[in-house]
Amino acid sequence: MGKLDRFAEFIDWYPKGMSKEERHLVYKIDWLVLSFSCIAFFTKNLDVSALSNAYYAGMGDDLNLDGNKLQFATSMYYVGYAIFQIPSNIVLTRLPAEYYLPAFEVMWGLFTLGTAFVKSYNQLLVMRFFVGFTATACWVGNAHIVNSWYTRQELGKRNAIYGCVYPLGAMFAGYLQAAAYNNLNGAHGMAGWRWLFIICTIITIPCALIGVFFCPNVPDRTRSRYLTEREKQLAVDRLLKDGFAKTRGIGRGLFKRIFGDWRIYVFFVVGNLYWMTPYPSGLPYGLWLDSQKDKYSPAMVNNLSTITYAATIVSTMVCGFYSDWRQNRWETMLYGGILILICNVLLLVWNVPGGAKFFAFIGLGVANGPTNLIVPWLAEFMSHDLEARSTSIAIVNVGWVVINCVVPIIAWPIPSSPRFLGGYIWSVVMSVVEIILLPLPMILERRELKKGINYARMVVEESGLAPAGLEEKTKGVDDQSLEEPTRAANEKEVEVNAIAV
């Protein structure tokens, strides 16, 4: 075993006991899955972040974006983003992902280019809607791909890498905006903020072509030229052993399979509460820094604003590795939830030293790290149904999109910045509710296991392969009850197979 392999095993990148053949396969999967997914997500965040960066660089004055117009423009993006999200992830389970996802990336790149030439607020709203509509396939689509290739011991780390792309894109967009404004402002008669959207397009469209060559789709539908037939079968088998089922088909009963299960309701609430409560680390933090211009230079404000992104990156990686090592997600998320509550309470009090405010805003950036565990946690709970899992990821994310459209306008109106009293009251209350509800998925799953309902074990038994990695799923449950699932569980499994296409 080489030094690199020993280091990879030391950091638990490859679980102990993994064969050389499987290590080589996972190495290939990492390059194929993470390369395009991360690049696509990076360009999407570059395009999304361009709006707020352009606003601070002069677009607000040029287009008269006073009052809440910036938030309405942001919300228009999310309206388009929400409309197509669920249909997109359903379609993605049927069409070749290696063509579907890059095609939408090209389209959102073109609408980003159109944003560079808007002349009015109404034109901006139209462009942001279509940027959102075409970008919808990116995050949820690639989240589905990423969470379809890895076992439970691998999901946290890979989702951490995927999750780090958001703050990296936001940080890069800030520096890109500064460079565009300093070097291109006034070039060819165009303001620097317009050049920012043009540069984003130049980066986005060529990156889309990477997906055509590298995106591998999901294991049992992959046509990747970089995987041998034996490797493709091994990719399917190792997931089956871990309780991740192959495609069952969409069928008319897809939504019955989703909404007839408690999982979608619990994760919809818990996930969206967890995603939204660190919100002040974003726009409210930026507006507070903007109000401190008498204390900090513009360059210093830009550097301070990137600290929360850097904190998120470090936290995301630590949380991903830690949750895989502990083989659970809720513990790490509980630590993050407590930190979110403390920071939001400090900001609600407000009249605290400047250092305490910085701690609160940056602490919320740290707390953004565990938020990247929501999707792998949901994927593990929905491991028995690939199509339902893909659609459920989209449904939960649509909830976040809708909340992100409404809550900032109501709780965080720009005219009330930087104090945002109503926003911080909302954040504190939701932080408390979030901590209370966080154990609910484990409680309900434990109740199922005690009744003998174990969907992961059913997938393994159905495949005829030897189980692997399911010890944590069955710990503390009588073995006989797992070998003899209740009639209710069997009936539900028969129903799923019967209605699948």
Average pLDDT over all residues of the chain:
86
Q: Which of 210, 241, 272 is the last residue of a domain?
A: 241
Residue 1 lies in a domain: no
Rounded to whole angstroms, the Cα distance separating 74 from 465 reads: 49
Q: CA-CA distances (angstroms) from residue 426 to 16, 289, 341, 411, 429?
A: 45, 21, 11, 7, 5
Residue 118's pLDDT band (cuts 50, 70, 90): very high
Q: Is 63 in the same domain as 165? A: yes
Query: What is the mean pLDDT of the segment spanning 317-343?
Result: 94
Rounded to whole angstroms, the Cα distance separating 348 from 360 reads: 10
Using the predicted structure, report yes or no on whether residue 217 has a pLDDT greater than 80.
yes
φ/ψ region of 249 (left if φ > 0, alpha if ψ in -120 to 50, else beta) reads left
Residue span of the structural domain in which 306 resides = 260-463
pLDDT confidence of residue 499: 40
Using the predicted structure, report yes or no on whether residue 482 has a pLDDT greater than 50.
no
Nearest residue to 340 via CA among 286, 282, 278, 279: 278
Q: Is 82 in the same domain as 187? A: yes
Q: Is 337 in the same domain as 426? A: yes
Alpha helix ranges (H) inside 291-329:
298-326
Residue 488 lies in a domain: no
Q: Is 333 in the same domain as 444? A: yes
Nearest residue to 368 via CA among 174, 169, 166: 166
- φ, ψ for residue 236 (rounded to 5)? -70, -45
Rounded to whole angstroms, the Cα distance separating 136 from 86 reads: 9
Mind listing the pLDDT tens digit for each residue in 129-141?
Answer: 999 999 888 889 9
Residues 251 and 499 sit within 8 Å (Cβ to Cβ): yes
Using the predicted structure, report yes or no on whether residue 31 has a pLDDT greater than 90.
yes
Mind listing the pLDDT tens digit for each residue in 393-412?
Answer: 999 999 998 888 888 888 88
Q: Is 342 in the same domain as 404? A: yes
Place of tokens 């997938």: 459
Q: Is 378 in the same domain as 287? A: yes
Residues 46 and 172 sit within 8 Å (Cβ to Cβ): yes
Residues 136 and 84 sit within 8 Å (Cβ to Cβ): yes
Percentage of the chain with pLDDT > 70? 92
Query: What is the mean pLDDT of the segment spanning 344-364?
Result: 93
Q: Is 237 in the same domain as 266? A: no
Residue 494 lies in a domain: no
Mind listing the pLDDT tens digit for each residue in 240-262?
Answer: 999 999 888 787 789 899 999 99
pLDDT confidence of residue 298: 66
Residue 486 lies in a domain: no
Rounded to whole angstroms, the Cα distance separating 456 from 470 reads: 8
Residue 107 lies in a domain: yes
Nearest residue to 276 via CA among 171, 402, 139, 138: 402
15 HSE (CA, 13 A, CB side): 17
Query: What is the mean pLDDT of the segment spanning 288-298?
Result: 79
Mind listing the pLDDT tens digit for each residue in 371-385?
Answer: 999 999 999 999 999
pLDDT confidence of residue 159: 95
Q: Is 327 in the same domain as 365? A: yes
Q: Is 237 in the same domain as 313? A: no
Q: CA-CA distances (angstroms) from residue 129 to 84, 134, 281, 342, 432?
A: 11, 9, 25, 36, 34
Residue 46's pLDDT band (cuts 50, 70, 90): confident
Q: Is 423 in the same domain as 327? A: yes
Residue 40 lies in a domain: yes
Q: Which of 212, 241, 270 is the last residue of a domain?
A: 241
Residue 11 lies in a domain: no
Give the domain CATH number at 393: 1.20.1250.20
pLDDT confidence of residue 341: 96
Mind listing the pLDDT tens digit for each residue in 55-102?
Answer: 877 888 899 888 778 878 888 888 888 899 999 999 998 899 999 999
Residue 157's pLDDT band (cuts 50, 70, 90): very high
pLDDT confidence of residue 449: 93
Rounded to whole angstroms, the Cα distance separating 356 from 367 reads: 16
Using the predicted structure, report yes or no on whether residue 292 has a pLDDT greater than 60.
yes
Q: Is 89 in the same domain as 38? A: yes
Q: Is 86 in the same domain as 167? A: yes
Using the predicted structure, report yes or no on whether residue 185 has a pLDDT greater than 50.
yes
Q: Tally helices (H) and strands (E) across the chain.
A: 25, 0
Report the number of distinct structural domains present in the chain.
2
Q: CA-CA distances (angstroms) from residue 14 to 162, 216, 314, 328, 411?
A: 17, 20, 21, 17, 44
Residue 464's pLDDT band (cuts 50, 70, 90): confident
Residue 385 lies in a domain: yes
Rounded to whole angstroms, the Cα distance separating 155 from 9 reads: 16
- Extract the tokens encoding 245: 């089922």
Rounded to whole angstroms, the Cα distance separating 377 from 324 reads: 11
- Extract the tokens encoding 320: 């991903």
Nearest residue to 409 via CA among 4, 170, 92, 72: 72
Residue 469's pLDDT band (cuts 50, 70, 90): low
Q: Which residues contact 57 (CB under 8 A, 6 or more apart)?
A: 177, 180, 181, 191, 192, 193, 196
Using the predicted structure, report yes or no on whether residue 492 has a pLDDT greater than 70.
no
- φ, ψ for residue 285 (rounded to 5)? -65, -45
